[in-house]
Each structure stands twice: as structure tokens, then as C-alpha cells.
Amino acid sequence: MSFSLEGKTCLVTGAGRGIGRAIALALGAAGADVAITYSRSEGPAKEVEAEIIKMGRKALIFQADAIDGKRADEVIGEITKAWGKLDILVNNAGITKDTLIMRMSEEQWDDVIETNLKSVFNYSKAAVRPMMKQRSGSIINIGSIVGVSGNAGQTNYSASKAGMIGFTKSLAKELATRNVRVNLVAPGYITTDMTDKLGEATLEAINKSIPMGKGGQPEDVANAVQFLGSDASAYITGVVLHVDGGMVM
């Protein structure tokens, strides 16, 4: 099912590959103009831009380090200058640096917290002013079920995603009177290029842990984002939506 985003403008951070790419394409397919950021590889981002333009939509791409607050202000400013407004912000940029805490360096901790959590602060803060001014908007943060359940070897990643939940609920309360909604999508095990490299035994064990018996696709997450960005979710804010096949209930 597709929810119309005709006339809306969007920004998806970290949208060159995987879940971010699927989200950007789903928003474009629903009728939105889509801007995306990438941190290092321009090629995949250019491919996403080309696909969105093929749909008959406008597209913009920006090289941006997610932890750079000044750059976040610049990106949002350029989007609102080009398109006049920003309706949907999807905070998707994120990394993992998994290891047991006994082996985790301070750098591994800081890198994950900054990229995953500080980036959400940077882009949300930059987007709040134009959204409040237009008295409408939807901020959608891409979290993870490990922010709810935890996971051994991912204390840094789990902490960053749990922090995003608190951030989402607090910002939702700040902005509700201005008709700006803030929600979080928490994916479970999603099949991507990275997970394809896991061994068959590992994949089988993961699938057994999922009540629905299979991993999700990036499009499953993108569909949830499309809904939360659309007017069909106009009375929903402060929600954590699990897209996990029942892994966390």
C-alpha cells in the first residue's frame, strides 16, 4: 500500500545504500521531492538521485558528515532555499562498531554515539525552525530494536539507539503544539548487503529467533517511514514503531 506524499519535500540522511536508499526511493515513489546526504561514497548517492529523477521528482544530494552541526544547518538551508520548505526529515545515518565492552576502545564508543545520536540532534535542530514556521512537519528517526532489548557486543550501538528513543519522545512533546510530529521506526533483523555475508548457520539461527521466521527487507522499513511521513499518520507522534517480525513484543 502506498501513502501519498504529493507536494511534500524530504531529506533522508545516509541514503546511499541499504535502508536509507530504500527509504529515499519509497518517498520519491509516493510523490515527494527527495534530498539525501552521504558521507563518503558519491557514486551510490548519485544512483539514488538518478532513480528519483526518473520518477519525475526533484532530487538533491549533499556530501555531509553526520556529526557536523554546521553542515547540517547548511544542508537544511539549501533545501529550504531550493524548495521553499521541508516537510519530512528522516534521520537514518548510522554506524556500528561492535565488540565486547572489555575490548571496546573509547574511540569506538565515541564514534558510534556521535554518528548515531549526535547526528539526530544536529539535523532535528536544523529542521525544527522551518517546520515550526510552516506549522507542519514530520521527523522520523531510524532506531533499532536493540535500543529496547539490548544486545551483547553492542553496548555503544544499543545506547545510541536507546538515546534516540528518549530524544524522540521528548522532542515530540516540544513540537506537538506546532503540528510537527516526531516518531521512531525500530527495525529488527533486516536483510542487506552486509547481512548477506553471514554464514548459513548464523542466518538460520537468526531466523529461528524471529516469530515470523524470516528477516525483513529494507522496503519493510521504508513502508513504515512512508506512512509516518504521510497525512495518514497526522494524529501519531512520540511513537516507537517496531518493524521486526515480532522479535520484541
Q: Which residues, 6+ apart, have CB-to-CB distance to 67 below 8 Å? A: 114, 115, 118, 119, 122
How far is Cα 64 from Cα 81, in angstroms, rounded to an integer? 18
Q: Taking each helix axis as running N to C, give the angle between helix 18-29 and helix 218-229, from 0 to 180 degrees, rounded to the nearest 10.
A: 50
Active-site residue flag, 157: yes
Q: Which residues, 6+ apart, have CB-to-CB distance to 235 below 8 Å? A: none
Q: In this structure, are residues 42 and 154 in contact, taking their beta carbons and an 8 Å threshold?
A: no
Helix (H, G, I), strand (E, B) or coil at 187: strand
Reading the block at residue 231, the C-alpha cell is 497525512
How far is Cα 70 from Cα 86, in angstroms, rounded to an integer? 18
Max alpha carbon distance in the chain (Å)? 52
The one catalytic residue among 123, 157, 189, 235? 157
Task: Say which DSSP state 51 is in.
Answer: H
The amino acid that residue 141 corresponds to is N
Catalytic residues: 157
